[in-house]
Amino acid sequence: MTVIDLWIAMPLLILAGSALAILLLGAMVPGNHWTWAGVVATAMAAAWAIQAPPATIAPSLALAATPVARLFAILFSLTAGAVLIISHRYNEKRGITGEEYQATILFCAFGATTLSMSTTLLIMFLGLEAMTFGFYILVAMELKREVSAEAGLKYLLMGAVAAAFLAFGIGLHYAGTGSLSLAQALQAAAGNRIALAGWGFILIGIAFKLSLVPAHLWTPDIYQGAPAPVTALLSALSKGATVAMLLLILPSGGSDTIRHLLWWPALLSMVVGNLAALLQTKVRRMLGYSSIAQMGYVALALVSGTTGGYRAAAYYSVAYAIMSLAAFGAITLIERDGAGDSLEEWQGLGRRNPFPAGILALALFALAGIPPTAGFTGKFLIFTAAIKAGEIPLAIIGIITAAISVYYYLAVVVSLYMHEPGDREEVFPALPESAVLIATGAAILVIGAFPAPLLRLLAAALP
Amino acid sequence: MGYDMTGFPFLTILIFLPLATGLCLLPVWNCRPDLWRPVALAGAIAELGVACLCWPAAAAPAKGAPAGFFLFEDYPWIAEFGIRYTLGMDGLSLLLVILTAFVTLIAMLASWRPVIDRVPLHYLLILAMESGIMGVFLSLDLFLFYLFWELMLIPMFFLIGIWGHGRRIYSAIKFFLFTLAGSLLMLLAIITLYLIHGSQTGVYTFSLYGLIGTVVPHSTALWLYGAFLLAFAIKFPLFPLHTWLPDAHTDAPTAGSVILAGLLLKTGAYGLVRFGYPLFPAAAATLSPLLMVMAVTGILYASWIAFAQSDMKRLVAYSSVGHMGFVALGIAAWTPVALSGAILQMVNHGITTSAMFAMIGMLDERTGTREIDAYGNVWGKAPRLSFFFLFFAMASAGLPGLNNFVGEFLILTGSFKVSHLAVALAGIGVILPLVYTVRLIQELLFQEERRPLIIPDLTVTECGMVVVMACLDLYIGLHPGPLLDMLHSPVAILTGGAG
């Protein structure tokens, strides 16, 4: 292991090392304060990933610190840190104790970061499974709630099936081409029937992870059942990591067939996700369907297959991570104070809990794609890329479903602001939670209205 | 006059001053309720002041600006996509900017007493909306324009939904979805135009004056213009896309109705004049008969429906559809005279209809009902209020000597060359408003009292407000020269091909 290897792997070492350390030390010094140790670890990992590495590739580790990988490493670390902060009080209130919570979150961040840095299919698979394994635990963490356990079981079953598809697909690809390298994977697979069949399986696995239709059915249940902060993490990390994975594979060229396989899932996700979300009466379930639709837009960007499309997908996954963090962060605060999960119980929250309600409303407007939020800019980039690539029918369907989607986001805003509040008292969030929510809210507006720096970054990273 | 104003960011101030004032309310949000109204009002007055200061600037054109623009600001914004922060003011923008500042002030005064719930939020939303509308009237970059175009929906959605009456939530959502659905398709058209221009010239830009003159195949241009027309026609609103308007108007609070009628409807017409026609002249010419049919149908249909209304607000809402039909007719004709008339009519309608909604708001506040059947003999109880009600109703119906008459006259004169039939039919539409207006006046003011309502007369503030509006109505009605002079150069430039 050389110095360069160590340099490149450092964020991973920080995340995994601190996860293990928390598990070990937590056994001796139990308590909830491990949250802050975890936050420090994620901040350190993010800070390390900001620096430019002396060399991009660490061949002996099959890891690469490309600009895209570093961007996602920073995003995942910071998201994990933010989720740790918003979980703190929620866990106290909900009786989720034990340092394994913090350790598992760090472990998820480790898995996601590994995935975005991988250079072979094998490491990619390991990273993905490391992350998913963490989520199996986190989703079921709230042992006292029946829905949480049910969600955990569902996620485990679905995830195991997806993992099997992925592993089998990778095996077929290896059998067909004799190589596990990511960079040339698609070129190597072109014209090779066994390898292409393998890619079919891999795409099914990916569709599960991205919750693209028709592999989407687990999503609403998990979104509804998991603890709110975990849902934020799941939404930001698992989707972001899968997009990162596609961004490692697709731009390298090769056959267009594989990319075009995403055409129908993109279309169906936008239509089914948005229409099903219209029928929901529970906020979290609605957001679950909304995430299906949002990933449909990302798939639309990927289908267009131009650099503009890839950049748009990367931008949107960053934006989506922030929007989910804001939305579920606000939901964490709201639910912690005893509101149930149906819309009726949320009536008048805009007056009773103005701060979390305001952030939630902002996040919902962003998800609906109203300017000047990141959601709007992201959709603008996606539709520009799609039209440029000639995917005009898909773009038109996308924009019509986007118009439909506004209804269900508005329905929540209506509940928050246009009904009289119940008789519960106003609750004040703690300072660190407020800081996280304010930061995400500001980020939604800033990268929406001033996307130029992020776009320049992406232009350099995805040439 | 001509004092040097180059370099002073008047336009940026016009856009962000209201929003900044609104944000000034945040520190006093929970304490100092005595400061809420004065701070908001001061912001609105300052805004009107800045808007009026722009009038003398019209004497000299701005450097580096497209022809006709006398104030111009241009900075790079998102360079990767050729998006710029470009603002410009010509005579057309100027009139609408002043109208915006004025109507917002009226809306604020009109909600002075009725709004007692969540007051700072109410004023913050009004001010945010003023910022959005200013942005729409000043943007010369299509991306920027679209941004403001959608931004102004959100405050109105909350205004209707929180402070509205009746089925306020239904109306708020209907309003939002209708207008958003149209504008999203316009977004697709904007992006397509941007890409066509980019692939032809290699220059990717959203600048209006960069995109004008792009050669688009006629069949494509029809689709693109159709998307623009749909977005603008919904806002206008043109028959048969008007159905959101009566609901939104009826259920909106007074300030919401005033801004909706006075300003938001104008953005549709403005968009068509500023963007739709110049970007796609050939497609616009092809589809102008369609626009004319929609306009004339709207005029006649709205007058007919207005006659059957029992709610005063709904009646005035339908009369708005009719008046905006005249504006659409003037634009569809696209001759200098008709277009000047259409723009003037936008200003006229802004003032008169705002006044009507403000007066209905006053009656509603006093009695709690807007049903025409409930009233009677208001003249006997509140003569001053009745006088101004009569005055604005007559102005709205197009009485010669008052402002609406001038606009309608110019539109009909200017359109005559283009289509005799349309003008003949619209001519009937000049008479029909008299029918329902006279009925309204008669039942409301002069018929015998039907319910023992107590109607105090106008207060001093209210009196001041309506007197100013009445004077404006009279002034434009008797001496529209300065306004038409202001419009002369932009209209000549816009209609260059047709005129």
B193 phi, psi to nearest 5 deg: -60, -45
The nearest CA of chain A is from the CA of B127 a distance in Å of: 17
The Cα–Cα gap between A364 and A352 comes to 19
B188 chain-A contacts, CB cut-off 8 A: 383, 387, 395-396, 399
Q: Answer whether the bond into residue A30 is a cis peptide, omega within 30°.
A: no
CB B437 within 8 A of CB B398: no
Q: From the CA atom positions of chain A, what is the Rg in Å?
A: 21
pLDDT per residue as tens digits for the range B87-111: 999 989 999 999 999 999 999 988 8
The nearest CA of chain B is from the CA of A419 a distance in Å of: 8
The nearest CA of chain A is from the CA of B223 a distance in Å of: 12
Token pair recorded at residue A410: 């508005």
Residue numbers of the domain that contains B114: 10-494
Region of A199 on the Ramachandran plot (φ > 0 left; ψ -120 to 50 alpha; else beta): alpha
If we measure between CA atoms, which residue out of A292, A290, A315, A302 comes closest to residue A374?
A: A315
Whether A417 sits inside 8 A of B161 (CB atoms) is yes
pLDDT above 70 as % of chain B: 98
The Cα–Cα gap between A224 and A327 comes to 14
How much is the ipTM here?
0.89
Picking from A372, A399, A418, the nearest residue to B188 by CB comes out as A399
Q: Is residue B403 part of a domain?
A: yes
Q: Is residue B153 part of a domain?
A: yes
| pLDDT value of residue B498 | 40
The nearest CA of chain B is from the CA of A40 a distance in Å of: 33
Interface size, chain A vs chain B, as Cβ–Cβ contacts under 8 Å: 75
The Cα–Cα gap between A356 and A352 comes to 10
Q: How many domains does chain A have?
A: 1
Q: Is residue A154 part of a domain?
A: no
| pLDDT value of residue B459 | 87
Query: How does DSSP assign A383-434, residue by residue?
Result: HHHHHHTT-HHHHHHHHHHHHHHHHHHHHHHHHHHSS---SPPP----HHHH
| Residue B381: CB atoms within 10 Å | 18
The ranges of chain A with pLDDT < 50 are none
Residue numbers of the domain that contains A294: 262-463
The Cα–Cα gap between A270 and A113 comes to 28
Q: Is residue B154 part of a domain?
A: yes
Q: Is residue B499 part of a domain?
A: no
pLDDT above 90 as % of chain B: 45
Secondary structure of chain B as H, E, C letters: CCCCCCCCCHHHHHHHHHHHHHHHCHHHCCCCHHHHHHHHHHHHHHHHHHHHHCCHHHHCCCCCCCCCCCEEEEEEEEHHHCEEEEEEECHHHHHHHHHHHHHHHHHHHHCCCCCCCCHHHHHHHHHHHHHHHHHHHHECEHHHHHHHHHHCHHHHHHHHHHHCCCCHHHHHHHHHHHHHHHHHHHHHHHHHHHHHHHHHHCCCCCEHHHHCCCCCCHHHHHHHHHHHHHHHHHHCCCCCCCCHHHHHHHHCCHHHHHHHHHHHHHHHHHHHHHHHHHHCHHHHHHHHHHHHHHHHHHHHHHHHHHHCCCEHHHHHHHHHHHHHHHHHHHHHHCCHHHHHHHHHHHHHHHHHHHHHHHHHHHHHHHHCCCEHHHCCCHHHHCHHHHHHHHHHHHHHHCCCCCHHHHHHHHHHHHHHCCCHHHHHHHHHHHHHHHHHHHHHHHHHHHCCCCCCCCCCCCCHHHHHHHHHHHHHHHHHHHCCHHHHHHHHHHHHHHCCCCC
pLDDT per residue as tens digits for the range B365-394: 888 888 888 888 888 888 899 999 999 999
Q: Is residue B4 part of a domain?
A: no
Above 50 in pLDDT, residue B48?
yes
Rounded to an integer, the average pLDDT of B117-121 is 84
B203 phi, psi to nearest 5 deg: -105, 115
Q: Is residue A235 part of a domain?
A: no
Chain A residue with the nearest C-alpha to that of B178: A403
Whether B77 sits inside 8 A of A388 (CB atoms) is no
- Kindly state the DSSP code that residue A140 receives in the 8-state scheme: T
B192 chain-A contacts, CB cut-off 8 A: 387
| pLDDT value of residue B103 | 93
Handedness of CA A234, A236, A237, A243 (dihedral sign): positive
Whether B181 sits inside 8 A of A403 (CB atoms) is yes
Whether A410 sits inside 8 A of B157 (CB atoms) is yes
A450 chain-B contacts, CB cut-off 8 A: 78
Above 70 in pLDDT, residue B497?
no
Token pair recorded at residue B329: 């007719």
B76 phi, psi to nearest 5 deg: -70, 150
Q: Which one has a higher pLDDT value, B115 or B308? A: B308
Picking from A388, A403, A414, the nearest residue to B180 by CB comes out as A403
Chain A residue with the nearest C-alpha to that of B198: A388
CB A44 within 8 A of CB A10: no
Residue with tokens 């996307």: A451
Question: Which residues neighbour A57 within 8 Å (Cβ) at sequence distance 6 or greater?
Answer: A8, A63, A64, A65, A119
**How many residues would you count in chain A?**
463
pLDDT per residue as tens digits for the range B268-326: 999 999 999 999 999 999 999 999 999 999 999 998 898 888 899 999 999 989 899 99
Whether B169 sits inside 8 A of A418 (CB atoms) is yes
Q: Is residue B243 part of a domain?
A: yes
A452 chain-B contacts, CB cut-off 8 A: 77-80
CB B342 within 8 A of CB B327: yes
B185 chain-A contacts, CB cut-off 8 A: 399
| pLDDT value of residue B5 | 55
Q: Is residue A12 part of a domain?
A: no
The nearest CA of chain B is from the CA of A160 a distance in Å of: 40
If we measure between CA atoms, which residue out of A301, A197, A195, A184 comes closest to residue A254?
A: A184
Q: Is residue B127 part of a domain?
A: yes
Chain B residue with the nearest C-alpha to that of A372: B147
The nearest CA of chain B is from the CA of A89 a distance in Å of: 27
pLDDT per residue as tens digits for the range B469-495: 999 999 998 999 889 988 988 898 888
Whether B150 sits inside 8 A of A403 (CB atoms) is no
Q: How many domains does chain B have?
A: 1
A459 chain-B contacts, CB cut-off 8 A: 80
